[in-house]
Amino acid sequence: MLNFDFYNPTQILFGKGRIADLNKVIPAEAHVLVLYGGGSIKQNGVFDEVMAALGTRTVTEFTGIEPNPSYETLMKAVELIKHNKIDFLLAVGGGSVIDGTKFIAAAALFDGEDPWAILEKRGSNVTQAMPFGSVLTLPATGSEMNNGGVVTRKSIKAKMAFSSRFCFPKFSVLDPTKTYTLPVRQIGNGAVDAFVHVMEQYMTYPVNSPVQDRFAEGLLKTLIEEGPKALATPEDYDVRANLMWCATMALNGLISTGVPQDWATHMIGHELTALHGLDHAQTLAIVLPSMLRVRKEAKRAKLLQYAERVWDLRTGDEDSRIDAAIARTQDFFEQMGVKTRLADYDLHAANIDPILSALETHRMVALGEKRDVTLDVSRQVLELSL
Amino acid sequence: MLNFDFYNPTQILFGKGRIADLNKVIPAEAHVLVLYGGGSIKQNGVFDEVMAALGTRTVTEFTGIEPNPSYETLMKAVELIKHNKIDFLLAVGGGSVIDGTKFIAAAALFDGEDPWAILEKRGSNVTQAMPFGSVLTLPATGSEMNNGGVVTRKSIKAKMAFSSRFCFPKFSVLDPTKTYTLPVRQIGNGAVDAFVHVMEQYMTYPVNSPVQDRFAEGLLKTLIEEGPKALATPEDYDVRANLMWCATMALNGLISTGVPQDWATHMIGHELTALHGLDHAQTLAIVLPSMLRVRKEAKRAKLLQYAERVWDLRTGDEDSRIDAAIARTQDFFEQMGVKTRLADYDLHAANIDPILSALETHRMVALGEKRDVTLDVSRQVLELSL
């Protein structure tokens, strides 16, 4: 096992009816800025429940945080905060709204001239942030219980990640019933996103970390079992609860303790979203299976463990077990309604060079757990995904 | 899944050489009270490393916190704090030292007349506590990453548990190399303690919580694999690291999220320690197997899952699989050097009535996940353990 630090002070309020408890966890005198995306929370009752829980607190709204939240949009919220006496931020939505709120919380108190520097420095220059919490409506990114976010600058088509010790939500409310009305596409994307988060922290090389491995395998197996049920029976409480808790556990720092991590799939995926507007999960579903095939030798020991423990593949020679495990992974993504080929999104061989150029521009030229995913390797991965 | 809250702000610094990082996590100007048990930390180098890390900070020592820390001893530390300007408490040791430090941290700032009230109210009357951290030397109780403790009042032979949101360590340093010199008995006890902690949160009835179940099963399987290796090869770093992380994860609130809990075994065990001085883990090893046998019907579904997933028992009828799983559990405790019969500790039928009287005095008359472990059931359990 590798040395590690673990720290995660976010309080989770999980279950039916927990939005009402916002009244307990937000200071009674706070002027609250409620941040959200489109209008879905006004249609499904979440907004009304939040407002009821906030009671007599002064509330200002900031709406329009888009999927892959943009720096341009988020800076409007920062301006709004600077011109109003806001004490507390409350993100109501999915990972994009929460990621965006993290950036806003840091940018509003940022010492430097231009908060874009937060993204250029990946958050290392953040020294404080406004207090914020979240009401999660979409299980997927894990942002509700971690300190990281991803922000897109539309003007330069750049999607940049940041994190900071100061950017943990104070609390997150997770009410699985609030996911019942989600579109099928968002449930499918969410399960794939959570699955790939686990894989980026698990599918590397063995370092004798059985607790972390079994936790990761437990999440993968649960996603495989519960994901299709979530599509088939949208109002099954336990299924939605299990999916939600998987997504949170997938990226809260727990399963990455003491183990190497990869994240090459995410980095390539980010460029696909920035250049072509694909959903984040779609990019992961395209890249991961090919990444596993191309890097089969480097990941052989873990792929065999994955085949046996997650997919119950115990017979046949090593390569056939590995190949079957990767094929099943890809089938699972398709089963969740997320297409796994570039061609499915009308992307073709001619689109690969610009993706590689973008990776080069963003210095993503030595990715993966051993920093050996060069641009050449990324090219192989993309070509295999055509 | 049941509704739940999860909150755990303790920072973990895990790995070789991490004691030096005390310098980063304790305020530079703090007057630090270093609390410990006997002299082992002075023999194995831990004390010297701690002092080196504390550098020029003012340090006062409090020594002599015993296994099953006593109210009488701990109140001496509270008096010492009241007569010196102490800013920060640093527990260096195992669960007893950390439990004791939690109580001291709360008692030193307690508003009421007599801090014994903290234990009478199980911590619900704690409104603040001094900041404290820990350097863990004995993987077992999980106290290094939770907010609870157990304190014994020798004068009335009472062992009382408390917890409070204010009693999380700010940080805990977990260096597996510091466990190399532990006596065999303490390693055996530690593995059994962690194992039974997991069982108390897992072995109840199903509530459709696959993530929590798989996390618990992962910890149990790892303890079964790594425990005997820790006895056989004391200086195997990964084995000690895995054991240490299991013990921390076993009782940090994670695996109990959204599931029913039992704790009857612990409550009966506490009386055995209070009346007869048995090690905590010894009492658990005596009580748990009989508890599972007596409560086989109430726990049937989970026992079958446990037999299959933890012990790989997949053939034979239900009862034979359950019986075999319980027998293997008992064998595991014996393999770890912890005896599992009352007679092994020179306790006999005549000792049972006083234990039941103590349970009654402490209002432990309706234990277990369904509150149906009456004094009669506890009697059956103890008789089966003779």
| E-strand stretches of chain B | 4-6, 11-14, 31-35, 58-62, 88-93, 132-136, 148-153, 158-163, 171-174
State residue B157's pLDDT score: 78
Backbone CA torsion sign across B325, B329, B332, B334 = negative
A contacts of B12 (beta carbons < 8 Å): 4-7, 257
3-state secondary structure of A319: helix
Lowest mean pLDDT among A284-288, B67-71, B258-262: B67-71
Q: Across the interface, do A258 and B246 touch by the CB < 8 Å criterion?
A: no
Average pLDDT of the residues of chain B: 97
In a domain, B262, yes or no: yes
Indicate the residue type of A102: K
Q: Across the interface, do B1 and A13 touch by the CB < 8 Å criterion?
A: no
Domain count, chain B: 2
Q: Across the interface, do B211 and A219 touch by the CB < 8 Å criterion?
A: yes
Q: How far apart, in whole angstroms, are the C-alpha atoms of residue B67 and residue B96?
A: 5
Within 8 A by CB and 6+ apart from A44, the residues are: A137, A178, A181
In this structure, the answer to whether residues A328 and A353 fall within a common structural domain is yes
- Which structural domain range is residue A335 located in? 184-384
Asked which of B160, B178, B196 is the last residue of a domain, the reply is B178
Encode burial over A43-82: b for 16+ CB neighbours within 10 A, e otherwise: ebebbebbbebbeebeeeebeebbbbbbbebbbebbebbe
B contacts of A7 (beta carbons < 8 Å): 9-12
3-state secondary structure of B373: strand
State residue B239's pLDDT score: 98
Neighbours of B3 (CB within 10 A): 16
Which residue in chain A is spatially nearest to B21 when comparing CA positions?
A: A5
Average pLDDT of the residues of chain A: 97
In this structure, the answer to whether residues B139 and B208 fall within a common structural domain is no
**How buried is residue B340: exposed, middle or buried, by Cβ count under 10 Å (0-12/13-18/19+)?**
buried
Q: Across the interface, do A1 and B15 touch by the CB < 8 Å criterion?
A: yes
Residue B321 maps to which CATH number?
1.20.1090.10
Q: How far apart, in whole angstroms, are the C-alpha atoms of residue A332 and residue B249?
A: 30
Structure confidence by residue, pLDDT tens digits, A51-69:
999 999 999 999 999 998 9
- Best B211, B243, B308 member to test A by mutation, with max A CBs in 10 Å, is B211
In this structure, the answer to whether residues B164 and B213 fall within a common structural domain is no
Mean pLDDT score, A71-83: 96
Mean pLDDT score, B305-311: 98
State residue A46's pLDDT score: 97
What phi, psi does A258 have (nearest 5°)? 75, 10
B contacts of A25 (beta carbons < 8 Å): none
3-state secondary structure of A379: helix
Share of chain B above pLDDT 90, in %: 95
In this structure, the answer to whether residues A317 and A278 fall within a common structural domain is yes
- Closest Cα of chain B to A11: distance in Å? 4
In a domain, A1, yes or no: no
Residue A47 maps to which CATH number?
3.40.50.1970
- The continuous run of DSSP H or E covering A247 comes out as helix A237-250
Q: Across the interface, do B211 and A225 touch by the CB < 8 Å criterion?
A: no
Which residue in chain A is spatially nearest to B257 when comparing CA positions?
A: A14
Lowest mean pLDDT among A104-113, A292-301, B90-99: A104-113
Q: How far apart, in whole angstroms, are the C-alpha atoms of residue B143 and residue B363?
A: 24
Cross-chain CB nearest to B218 (options A214, A242, A258):
A214
- Closest Cα of chain B to A144: distance in Å? 13
Share of chain A above pLDDT 90, in %: 95
- A385 CB-side CA count, 13 A: 34
ipTM of the complex: 0.97
User: Nearest CA to B134 among B162, B96, B161, B190?
Assistant: B96
Q: How far apart, in whole angstroms, are the C-alpha atoms of residue B192 and residue B282?
A: 8
In this structure, the answer to whether residues B173 and B194 fall within a common structural domain is no
In this structure, the answer to whether residues A106 and A203 fall within a common structural domain is no
- Best A3, A11, A144, A259 member to test B by mutation, with max B CBs in 10 Å, is A3
Indicate the residue type of A218: G
Which of left, alpha, beta for A263 (phi over 0: left; psi -120 to 50: alpha)? left
As given in the structure block, the two tokens for residue B356 are 């039941």
In this structure, the answer to whether residues B245 and B144 fall within a common structural domain is no
CA distances for B230 relative to A56, A125, A234, B245, B334, angstroms: 58, 43, 47, 13, 15
How many residues in chain B? 386
Structure confidence by residue, pLDDT tens digits, A283-327:
999 999 999 999 999 999 999 999 999 999 999 999 999 999 999
In this structure, the answer to whether residues B304 and B162 fall within a common structural domain is no
Q: Across the interface, do A246 and B211 touch by the CB < 8 Å criterion?
A: yes
Asked which of A152, A178, A204 is the last residue of a domain, the reply is A178
In this structure, the answer to whether residues B174 and B199 fall within a common structural domain is no
B contacts of A14 (beta carbons < 8 Å): 1, 3-6, 257-258
Cβ proximity of B134 and B144 under 8 Å? yes
Mean pLDDT score, A163-179: 97
User: Nearest CA to A110 among A95, A91, A90, A124?
Assistant: A124
In this structure, the answer to whether residues B194 and B56 fall within a common structural domain is no
State residue B112's pLDDT score: 79
Q: How far apart, in whole angstroms, are the C-alpha atoms of residue B31 and residue B26?
A: 10
- B73 CB-side CA count, 13 A: 21
State residue A192's pLDDT score: 98
Using 50, 70 and 90 to split pLDDT, how confident is the model at B154?
confident
As given in the structure block, the two tokens for residue A69 are 């939240």
Q: How far apart, in whole angstroms, are the C-alpha atoms of residue A238 and residue A177?
A: 10
Q: Across the interface, do A218 and B211 touch by the CB < 8 Å criterion?
A: yes
Which residue in chain B is spatially nearest to A257 when comparing CA positions?
A: B14
- Closest Cα of chain B to A91: distance in Å? 19
Unique residue bearing structure tokens 């015993």: B66
Within 8 A by CB and 6+ apart from B108, the residues are: B78, B81, B82, B129, B130
Cβ proximity of A69 and A159 under 8 Å? no
Asked which of A156, A178, A200 is the last residue of a domain, the reply is A178
Strand A31-35 and strand A88-93: the pairing is parallel
In a domain, A5, yes or no: no
Residue A343 scores a pLDDT above 90: yes
In a domain, A71, yes or no: yes
Residues of B with CB under 8 A from a CB of A: 1-18, 208-211, 213-215, 217-219, 221-222, 225-226, 237-238, 241-242, 245-246, 249, 254, 257-258
CA distances for A26 relative to A21, A121, B264, angstroms: 9, 31, 36
In this structure, the answer to whether residues A146 and A269 fall within a common structural domain is no
- Closest Cα of chain B to A71: distance in Å? 30
Q: How far apart, in whole angstroms, are the C-alpha atoms of residue B129 and residue B149?
A: 14
Indicate the residue type of A114: D
In a domain, A3, yes or no: no
In this structure, which long-range contacts are made by residues A341-348, counting pairs with CB atoms below 8 Å and at least 24 apart in sequence? A341/A286, A341/A385, A341/A386, A342/A286, A342/A382, A342/A385, A342/A386, A343/A386, A344/A286, A345/A276, A345/A278, A345/A282, A345/A286, A347/A272, A347/A276, A348/A386
Structure confidence by residue, pLDDT tens digits, B220-256:
999 999 999 999 999 999 999 999 999 999 999 999 9
State residue B229's pLDDT score: 98
Q: Hey, what's the torsion of the CAs at B86, B90, B92, B93, to 10 degrees?
A: 100
> What is the DSSP code string of B138-169?
S-SS-GGGSSEEEEEEGGGTEEEEEE-GGGS-
B contacts of A222 (beta carbons < 8 Å): 210-211, 214
Residue A113 scores a pLDDT above 90: no
Structure confidence by residue, pLDDT tens digits, A201-244:
999 999 999 999 999 999 999 999 999 999 999 999 999 999 99
Backbone CA torsion sign across B286, B292, B294, B298 = positive
As given in the structure block, the two tokens for residue A7 are 């720290």
Mean pLDDT score, A248-262: 98
Cβ proximity of B339 and B239 under 8 Å? no
Residue A112 scores a pLDDT above 90: no
- Closest Cα of chain B to A346: distance in Å? 37
Unique residue bearing structure tokens 């992307």: A347
State residue A128's pLDDT score: 97
Residue B78 scores a pLDDT above 90: yes
Structure confidence by residue, pLDDT tens digits, B110-133:
987 899 999 999 999 999 999 999
CA-derived radius of gyration, chain A: 20
Q: Across the interface, do A245 and B211 touch by the CB < 8 Å criterion?
A: yes
Structure confidence by residue, pLDDT tens digits, A9-41:
999 999 999 999 999 999 999 999 999 998 899
In a domain, B124, yes or no: yes
Q: Across the interface, do B7 and A3 touch by the CB < 8 Å criterion?
A: no
- Closest Cα of chain A to B177: distance in Å? 12
Indicate the residue type of B266: H
Which residue in chain B is spatially nearest to A16 when comparing CA positions?
A: B3
Q: What is the pTM of this model?
A: 0.97
Q: Across the interface, do B242 and A208 touch by the CB < 8 Å criterion?
A: yes
A contacts of B14 (beta carbons < 8 Å): 3-6, 257-258
How many residues in chain A? 386
State residue B223's pLDDT score: 98
State residue A39's pLDDT score: 83
In a domain, B6, yes or no: no
Within 8 A by CB and 6+ apart from A284, the residues are: A192, A193, A196, A265, A266, A269
Q: How far apart, in whole angstroms, are the C-alpha atoms of residue A333 and residue A75?
A: 35
- Best A6, A18, A212 member to test B by mutation, with max B CBs in 10 Å, is A6
In this structure, the answer to whether residues B204 and B327 fall within a common structural domain is yes
Mean pLDDT score, B325-331: 98
State residue B39's pLDDT score: 83
In a domain, B255, yes or no: yes
> What is the DSSP code string of A171-232?
EEEE-GGGGTT--HHHHHHHHHHHHHHHHHHHSS---S-HHHHHHHHHHHHHHHHHHHHHHH
